[in-house]
Amino acid sequence: MYRGAIPLLLFLLCQTGTASELALARELASEQDWWACDIECRRVLIDHPELTASAQALRQGAAQHLSRRAGRASILRRLGALPVKAMVGFYRIVVAQSIGSRCVLEPSCSTYSLQAARERGWLGIPMTGDRLIREPSVVHAKEHPVGVINGRTHYADPVSDHIGGDQ
């Protein structure tokens, strides 16, 4: 919610602004709110072409800080994915061997779980639970058929349909 509210608020507040948007971007940079600073710099680039050099320099600084933060987030995401990987590994080695393939969704439920964990870390656990609960409704709706495999129609239900934009 935080990420969505800030750009909307900035857009509404600065709709009739002048070069004060650059001042706001500098203030956001001093507060180390790099994401909001980057958005405000984009506004300056669009609304005030005469301030392009200043806005570009500030935006490059924000991008450097955001890339460092993304690196830390990816480490935390990988650590958070470990429980999901362990659960899927147990399922594939122990359970799937005895019950066989039952999932009619593409990707399979275990592959979906691993993809969700790779993209969202520990949030792969509730996303997997949601997938398992949602599976009958997806099959019943018969939307997005992918093809027939072993006499069973498979349906598309990718991870990208159930997560927001990149963090």
Tell me the three state secondary structure of residue 32: coil
- Residue 133 sits at the vertex; the CA angle it makes with 131 and 134, to the nearest 5 degrees, is 60
Q: Which of 79, 130, 139 is nearest to 106 (CA)?
A: 139
**pTM attached to this predicted model:** 0.52
Q: Does the pLDDT of residue 145 top 70, yes or no?
A: yes
Spell 23-39 as b/e; 16+ CB within 10 A means b: ebbeebbeeebbbbbbb
Q: Does the pLDDT of residue 13 top 70, yes or no?
A: no
Domains in the chain: boundaries = 2-71, 101-161
pLDDT digits (tens, 9 = 90+) for 51-85: 888 888 888 888 887 776 666 666 777 788 888 88
